[in-house]
Amino acid sequence: MRIRRIEACARCGKVRRVAARKLCGSCTTTVRRDGTRDQWPRVYRRLADVVEDYRHLHASGESEQQITRRLGYAHPYSLRAALRRAGVR
Ligand SMILES: [Zn+2]
């Protein structure tokens, strides 16, 4: 089970915390500025994995805020939306 999303950035190759397009923070800023962001496809993770991670972390007593951060979501709203899509709550 992978919780933290620290891997090689799709653009610069540096191993860092990456966001939805597998881009690190500085590359995300760069592609937003130069308008090439859509060249980097969004990466979707399997909903079942999100649910499994959420259940594990929730059972360990982590707060929604902590779980949001650990699973790499920008905001608790995004985590809640994913869980709703999965029919969890
Ligand atoms: Zn990068």
- Give the residue extent of every domain in the chain: 6-39, 47-85
Cα-to-centroid distance, 10 and ligand 1 (Å): 7
- How far does residue 49's CA lie from ligand 1's centre (Å)? 25
C-alpha 81 to ligand 1 mean position (Å): 27
Tokens (6 digits) for 60: 């360990």
- Is pLDDT above 90 for 14? yes
User: How close is the Cα of 84 to the center of ligand 1, in Å?
Assistant: 31
Orientation angle between helical segments 76-85 and 47-59, nearest 10 degrees: 120
pLDDT for the residue numbered 2: 43
- Residue range 43-69: mean pLDDT, rounded: 91
Rounded-to-integer distance, Cα 45 and Cα 71, Å:
11
Could you give the CA distance from residue 15 to residue 7 in angstroms, rounded to a whole number?
5
Q: Is the pTM of this model over 0.75?
A: no
pLDDT at 89: 65
- Ligand 1 centroid vs 75 CA: distance in angstroms? 22
Residue 71 Cα to ligand 1 midpoint, Å, equals: 19
Per-residue confidence (pLDDT) for residue 81, from 0 to 100: 92
